[in-house]
Amino acid sequence: MERRAFLKTGALGAAAATLASPAIAQGKMQWKMVTAWPKNLPGPGVAAQMLADRITTLSGGRIEVKLFAAGELVPGRGAFDAVSEGTAELYHAVPAYWGSKSKGILLFGSQPFGLRADEQIGWMYHGGGQTLYDEMYGRFGIKPFLCGNSGPQWGGWFKTEINSAEDLKGLKFRTTGLASEMASKLGMAAEATSGPAMFQGLQTGALDAGEFIGPWTDSALGYYQVAKNYYWPGVGEPSSAEECGVNADVFAELPEDLQQVVKMACESLYNPVWTEYTTKHALALKTMVDEHGVQVKMFPEDVITAMGAAAKEVLAELQEDEDELVRRITESFIAYRDSVGGYMTYADNGQMNARASVMGY
């Protein structure tokens, strides 16, 4: 796919901005979904359209969801406010984009050295995470649901080789969420630009490095054209949950069956989205290495150690946050991480280590 296909934004302009509350025609509701992504961007853009289509289908057409890509109705980073204020009924994005609302929100998406995709949804369902998620987003008039996950993200694209933690200092680096705070503590200048803007920044020199998602999405955006050093592991985001936020008043007005439709549409996409990322990341990485000369490199051990120390500082600050809800979210996350993480030493980690020692991967 051509990168420029994902950089286009619609020209609905003022006409789109005049759309109001849910239009109702012959008992059917017409909902506007705003997203943080270019239309059909491999990964999140595709997942957003899947969610819009699934709600429409599962509701038997009683809720017809029309998707507006970033910039068509509101800017991508304006999706949260648009739903909170009732300009749109729902959005598709990631919690990492809403840290200016509350740092507690960031834990629901990804955490440096934090939860994997399966652990993240486990915290939601079985560790009290969803109750806290609802409480936090309820402050803004939004009912939230997780609806997908990218799986492990990558450390990023770097124009120059990284040989030590000292090499990170002063780099202008694109990232988001709590990973931004970790990067800042390492002496990097973290910038939360969009994915397409990251390409332009790397191309012009406004950025020295950056991370977005992983091979499938990153290759579509063409980062390999402007930076060849692709670093792993992405400890800043061991997974990154995608979310759907629904205007709370609109959701409350739905009959119970349609509330369940929205809920199940989101929940039923978590695994399909996650596993599609995993499958297509693997294929895209091979193509980038074999055909585009991408150099896959592991961060040096002292870089990972420095990142770990910075991540611990970030988490300690959340534990001391002045907002008691942020503190409760943080303690819940830590308790679940430690409980499941301890078990994973014997379970998934043990299996993966054994497979690697025998099969080589």
Asked if residue 153 belongs to a known ligand binding site, the reply is yes
Asked if residue 211 belongs to a known ligand binding site, the reply is yes
Asked if residue 174 belongs to a known ligand binding site, the reply is yes
CA dihedral 332→335→341→346, nearest 10 degrees, is: -140
> What's the pLDDT band for 170 if we cut at 50, 70, 90?
very high
Mind listing the pLDDT tens digit for each residue in 322-360?
999 999 999 999 999 999 999 999 999 999 999 999 999
| 146: in domain | yes
Q: What is the total count of domains within the chain?
A: 1
CA 198 to chain centre: 16
CA-nearest of 218, 206, 209 to 187 is 209
- Domain CATH for 67: 3.40.190.170
pLDDT at 11 over 60: no
Residue numbers of the domain that contains 262: 9-152+239-279
Mind listing the pLDDT tens digit for each residue in 180-204?
999 999 999 999 999 999 999 999 9
pLDDT at 15 over 80: no
For the record, the structure tokens of 238 come out as 């061991």
| 164: in domain | no
Mean per-residue pLDDT over the chain, rounded: 93
| 305: in domain | no
State the average pLDDT over residues 53-77. Answer: 98
Asked if residue 212 belongs to a known ligand binding site, the reply is yes
Mind listing the pLDDT tens digit for each residue in 251-271?
999 999 999 999 999 999 999
| 209: in domain | no
The pLDDT value recorded for residue 129 is 98
Alpha-carbon distance of 322 to 325, in angstroms, equals 9
| 265: in domain | yes
This model's pTM is above 0.75: yes
CA-nearest of 145, 143, 144, 167 to 155 is 167
Interstrand relation of 209-210 and 156-158 (parallel, antiparallel or unpaired):
antiparallel
* 236: three-class secondary structure by DSSP: coil
| 130: in domain | yes
Mind listing the pLDDT tens digit for each residue in 294-303?
999 999 999 9
φ, ψ for residue 154, nearest 5 deg = -100, 160
pLDDT at 20 over 50: no
**Three-state SS string across 240-274, please?**
CEEEEEEEHHHHHHCCHHHHHHHHHHHHHHHHHHH
